[in-house]
Chains A and B, each alone.
Chain A
Amino acid sequence: MPLRHKNSTQWLTRVALLTGFGLALYLFESLIPRPLPWIKPGLANIATIVALYTLGPAAACIVSMLRCVLGSLVGGTLMSPSFWLSICGAASSVTAMIIVRRLGKKIFSIIGVGMIGAFAHMLTQVTVAGFLVVGDEAILILLPSMLLSSLITGLIVGYASHLIVARIAPQPASPLPVHESRRGSDNVG
């Protein structure tokens, strides 16, 4: 059941927990060796999507922004170009996901929202990096690999978020069925 009472302690606690969850995922994925440095799985977006589906748009914004600031603080890139890239990407990603979720409730499931989030994040980062940080449109050469990889990671992140949301908010948050094995174990227990 989505919690919408912003003053409740439970809401605050859940936002804090999801922020911590996002931060942990962010730091975890920065440890994974990557074949191409500009391609990231974007696992931290799972926390944002879960916040969006269980706590609402305001919580999603807080979780995403706070995760960016804390992540770069821990990673030592606060106020550097990569911090601005990261925060611009996160802001556009969370905005796109809120809009798609609100307007496309009947059309897209949580997986579609995840794909849109990854896509918006990638597109914003290429644009900002190309025209503000690097100052050369040659960065467009990265676009195809980033587009296609963001599609795959968005799909995975969306599905992972679906699995989590299906467990912590059993209300129909998405048209996808709850995992069968989980139901079975509930009956046994």
Chain B
Amino acid sequence: MRRALPIVALLLAGCSGVQTMTEGAGFGSRQFNSLMLLFLIVTGISFALVLIFLLLALWRRRSEPGEARVRSWLIAWIAFIVIGLILLTGASFLSDRREATAAADQQPLKVTVSASQWWWGIEYQNDDPSRIIHTANELHLPVGRPVQLKLNSGDVIHSLWIPALAGKQDLIPGRDNDIRILPTRIGRYRAQCAEFCGLQHAHMAFDVTVESPQAFAAWYAAQLQPAPEPATPLAKAGHDWFMSHACSNCHAIGGTDANGRTGPDLTHLASRRTIAAGTLQMSRGNLMGWIENPQGVKPGARMPTVGMSADELHAVASYLETLK
């Protein structure tokens, strides 16, 4: 299973990344794989024993009475269960401890994740306030360095789950949760909210990119930059429309007047793989479809339909496409 499943997943999974928990791309997922293997062996033996006993009981020759023999088997069976359970409980406990202390000596990257219905706000923390960056629905992580994700929720309970890297942790209003993840393999992965959070729970995913420390540093540096000035007249028109209409109430674009925080930060929107919390691939067509009618793509989404003409839509999409 450990080998077969990821291969199937790789064959089938689209460009948005793998969401298989046996992927083993993080310390947690690797622990999961080895622990699961142990559990499969022990439970598999138990199941086989039950089946064999059942088949023998149904088809054995009834020449000799069986009661005395069965009594000694019962004791053996109880001993097997007790030993098996102690083994599995112990292994589970040790695995949990190992995960809790993995790479404890390394300084973790600190990221705050704020979940809302139905998107993820991401904030990379830094002691230097000018080096804090905001993004949404994407997480870039350097391989081999632990990340400490601080989890909070602005509305209902959500659950952060990057199956290929590690197990899940809930984001609960009024509670400070956190989870420590150690990515161990470069790749693109998909993560999805795992706690039912209302109407669009199904469309609350985000993209995870595990990359080399150099690539991560480059990405980080790019994210620190403010949004570029619109270069073409069309993009300029889009920028002006964005700033003078409802968009800028909720969205922030670094380096402009738009600084709303109720919706996702759009400063480097065009550099992301997906939009609308993993709902659509990033493309001009999808971007226009989403802006024109969010309720058609994701009924119930908090983003309202803002009345705009075809030209205005065209212009705004052109502007957003420059936000690399």
Q: Do A and B come from one complex?
A: no
- B-side residues, CB < 8 A to A, are none
